[in-house]
Amino acid sequence: MAKTVEGLYYSESHEWVKVEGNVAVIGITDFAQHAMGDLSYVDMPEVDDEFEAGEEFGAVESVKAASDLFCPVSGTVVEINEELEDAPELLNQDAFANWIMKVEMSDPSELEGLMDAAAYEAMCANE
Amino acid sequence: MKYYDKLIFDLSKAGRQGYSLPVNRWENSVSELPAGLRRSAAPALPEVSELDVVRHYTNLSQMNFGVDSGFYPLGSCTMKYNPKINEEIAAMPAFAGLHPLQPYQTVQGVLRLYKDLSHALSEITGMAEFTLNPFAGAHGELTGLMVIRQYHMSRGDIKRTRIIVPDSAHGTNPASAAVCGLEIVQVKSKANGLVDVEDLKPLLDDTIAGIMMTNPNTLGLFEKDIKEIAALVHDCGGLLYYDGANMNPLMGVVRPGDMGFDVLHLNLHKTFSTPHGGGGPGAGPVGVAAHLVGHLPVPKVVESEDGTLQIVDAEGEPCGRISGFMGNFGVLLRAYTYILMLGKQNLKMVGPLAVLGANYIKESLKDCFELPIESVCKHEFVFDGLKDKSTGVTTLDIAKRLLDYGFHAPTIYFPLLFHQAIMIEPTETESKETLDGFIEIMKHIAAEAGSDPESLKTAPHTTPVRRLDETTAARQPILRYKDMN
C-alpha cells in the first residue's frame, strides 16, 4: 500500500505540494513512484520558468513508461532539485523526502482545489 | 545450441584482416584535408578475418527468436507467418534488379503491379485510392496526417490545428501528429474499453482537424459506436483517420471506408505478411476517400489514354513528397503475392480465424488471469496480470518465465489503461496444437506463481542471458566498447 503524508496537498495527477510560506515545494507521490517502477530519468524545468496550474512542467521516465508531470499551482520556479539529475532513484527511495521543484505561487488560493491526504488515498483506492 | 556471448571487438587481433585494400595511390590525399577535418587517431575498428566475422554472426543468429522458430504472440504486432513464396517472388531477377531511375517505358509491368496492388488495397479497405510510397507504418501515419492538413489548408480552413487521439491509442499516433505540427487532444475510454462518446462531444469544434482511431482498438475491442463518432466528427468539419495496425481481424469482413474513415494507413508487415522490422525496409501504404485523392503525395503512377503508365510528379494539390521514389517495392511485391496467393475467398478467412484463436486463448485462461473487460474480442485481448494478486508475481515475471518455455513474450505494460497489462495476439497462422501448448504453459506459470514464486521472480533461467538489469542500463548506460573495461 502506497503511503501518504498528512498536511500536504495532493493533485489528481499524483503530485504533492508542501507549502512553505508563499513557496510550493512539489514532488510526486509514493503511489506515483510505485506505479512507474524504477525511475531512470527526471526531466525538470529551469529556474524562472513560469507555469499555470495544470500545465506540464516536466516528466518522469522508468524502464516501463514515461509520464508527464503537471504543475498543481501557478507560479515561477525558484529552485529545482539538482540531485535528481544524477540520482532519479531518490524518488523511488522516498518520494516525499525528495522534492522536484519549488515554485513561488502567484495564486495560493489554488491550493483549495487540491486534495488532502485522506481524499487522495480514497482516489488512489479506486485506480 | 552452444553458448556464445562475444562482441566482435573481443575477437580483434592487431593486424588481422579479411580483405586487402588496394594501395592508396593518391598521394597527399589526407594531408590536403583541413586540419579540423582530419582524424588524430585511427578509428577503433575490430581487426578480424572473414571466417571470424562469419562465425560470429552465424553464432549470434542462432540465438535469435523469430516467428520461424516459435510462437510469437506479441499483441498489436500481428506476428503472422511470412510465407516463403513471398521471398521467392521478390528474389526474381526481373524484380530484384530494378533501378528506381529506369525510364518508365522499361518498367511498365512493375508500374502495373503497383497500380493493381493499390486497387486491391482500395477494394479491401473501401478507400478510393492509395499511395504505396510511405516506408513504414508511422511514416504512413505522418503521410495521412499531411493529407488531412493539406485538405483543410486547401480550403483556407487554417484554424484546424488540433487532433483527437484516444487514451488507448498506439504511441505512434500522438507522435506522428506532433511531427505533423498538430496539437494532441486526448479522449478517454469508458469502463468497457471503448471511446467515450460523451467525453468526445465537448472536444469537437472548428479547431479540430480530425480524430485518429484504431478499430478494433488496442484492447482488441471493436469500437461499435464508430458510425456515431464518424457523424459527430464529420459534422464539426473534421476527418477520420484509421490506424490500420489492427486491420487483420476485419480483412474481407468490414471495410474502414464503410465505417466513415477518410484516411488510413496499412502496416503491410502485419496484415499482409511482409517481414517485420529488424531495421529492414517496411511499407505503410495510405488510402484516402474520393474527396482527398488530389492531396495524396507525389510521385504517383498515372495511366494515360493509350494504357501506358507514367510516374507523375505533379497532380492535384498534393500534400508533398514523402519519399525519394515509389516506396519499398520489394515489400509491396511480397504483400501483393500474399493477396494473390490467398485469393478472395481465403482472404476473408484471415480475420475470423485470427478472432477465433484470440478468443480461444482468452476463454481458456481467464480463470487464471485477470480479464478486465468481459466480451468477445477481435484479434487480440488484454489481461491485467494474474487473477491472484497475493503472490506478488508481476506481468514482467510472467513474460520472462514464458521465455524459459520457448515462447516469445506477449506485449506487456501496454496499453496503459491497466497496471499489469499482458496483450496477446496469436494470429490466424497458428494451429490449435500451438495454441493449446501456449495455454498449458500459461496455466502452469499461474500455478507456479502460487507454489514457487521465486522461480518466476528470477526468470528466465534457460536463456543465453538471465534477467537483465534494465534499470541500471537506463540510468547508467555504457554505450561504447572501450567504456566497458
The per-residue pLDDT for B141 is 98
Q: What are the chain A neighbours of B418 within 8 Å (beta carbons)?
A: none
The per-residue pLDDT for B461 is 96
pLDDT digits (tens, 9 = 90+) for B238-268: 999 999 999 999 998 999 999 999 999 999 9
The per-residue pLDDT for B291 is 97
**Using the beta-carbon criterion (under 8 Å), do A63 and B419 form an inter-chain contact?**
no
**Average model confidence (pLDDT) across chain B:** 94
Q: What does the DSSP 8-state code read for residue B84?
A: H
Indicate whether B279 pLDDT > 60. no
DSSP H helices, B225-381, are 226-235, 256-259, 268-271, 329-365
**Using the beta-carbon criterion (under 8 Å), do A41 and B474 form an inter-chain contact?**
yes
Q: Which of B28-32, B52-56, B161-165, B374-378 has the lowest mean pLDDT?
A: B28-32
Mean pLDDT of B221-226: 95
Grade residue B471 by pLDDT with cuts at 50, 70 and 90: confident
Q: Is B416 on the interface with A (CB under 8 A)?
A: yes
**Using the beta-carbon criterion (under 8 Å), do A64 and B475 form an inter-chain contact?**
no
3-class secondary-structure state, position B194 = coil
Indicate whether B278 pLDDT > 80. no
Q: What are the chain B neighbours of A64 within 8 Å (beta carbons)?
A: 413
**Using the beta-carbon criterion (under 8 Å), do A65 and B416 form an inter-chain contact?**
yes
In a mutagenesis test of the B interface, which of A64, A67, A91, A92 is the best target, namely the one with the most B β-carbons within 10 Å?
A64
List strands edge to edge, sheet with A15-20. A9-10, A15-20, A23-28, A101-105, A75-80, A50-51
Distance CA B380, CA B251 (A): 15
Q: What are the chain A neighbours of B419 within 8 Å (beta carbons)?
A: 35
Between B31 and B122, the more confident residue is B122
Q: What are the chain B neighbours of A61 within 8 Å (beta carbons)?
A: 474
Any bridge partners for residue B241, and if so which?
Answer: B212, B263
Grade residue A107 by pLDDT with cuts at 50, 70 and 90: very high
Question: Is 0.95 surpassed by the pTM of this model?
Answer: no
Grade residue B280 by pLDDT with cuts at 50, 70 and 90: low
Nearest-CB residue to A40 (from B413, B419, B475): B475
Q: What are the chain A neighbours of B471 within 8 Å (beta carbons)?
A: 38, 40, 62-63, 89
Distance CA B115, CA B100 (A): 16
Task: List domains and CATH numbers for chain A.
Answer: 9-108 (2.40.50.100)
Grade residue A1 by pLDDT with cuts at 50, 70 and 90: low
In a mutagenesis test of the B interface, which of A63, A70, A86, A90 is the best target, namely the one with the most B β-carbons within 10 Å?
A63
**Using the beta-carbon criterion (under 8 Å), do A89 and B474 form an inter-chain contact?**
no
Mean pLDDT of B151-164: 97
CA atoms lying within 13 Å on the CB side of residue B391: 24
Q: Which of B177, B376, B166, B266 is nearest to B255 (CA)?
A: B266
Indicate whether B273 pLDDT > 70. yes
A interface with B, Cβ–Cβ < 8 A, is 35, 38, 40-41, 61-65, 88-89
3-class secondary-structure state, position A62 = strand
**Using the beta-carbon criterion (under 8 Å), do A40 and B413 form an inter-chain contact?**
no
Mean pLDDT of A65-81: 94
pLDDT digits (tens, 9 = 90+) for B40-90: 888 889 999 999 999 999 999 888 899 999 999 999 999 999 999 999 999
Mean pLDDT of B150-163: 97
Indicate whether B1 pLDDT > 70. no
In a mutagenesis test of the B interface, which of A14, A31, A38 is the best target, namely the one with the most B β-carbons within 10 Å?
A38
